[in-house]
């Protein structure tokens, strides 16, 4: 899963986001793993 960081001025001041690109070629397992990884680091 390709992920890139987006910072101001593309986001509101003081904000940022991660933009993820997924495709039909990714398996359900791969999507589940990246969701679990994001859940772990967001704690």
> What is the overall mean pLDDT for the chain?
94
* This prediction's pTM: 0.67
**CA torsion sign, 20 to 24 to 30 to 35?**
positive
Is the pLDDT confidence value at 30 over 90?
Answer: yes
Is the pLDDT confidence value at 19 over 90?
Answer: yes
Can you give the pLDDT at residue 42? 87
Percent of the chain with pLDDT over 90: 93
Domain, as residue range, for 16 = 2-41
Helix, strand, coil % over all residues of the chain, rounded to 5:
35, 25, 45
């Amino acid at each position: 899963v390709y992920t890139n960081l987006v910072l101001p001025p593309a986001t509101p001041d003081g904000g940022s986001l991660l933009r993820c690109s997924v495709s039909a070629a990714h398996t359900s397992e791969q999507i589940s793993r990246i969701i679990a990884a994001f859940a772990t680091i967001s704690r």
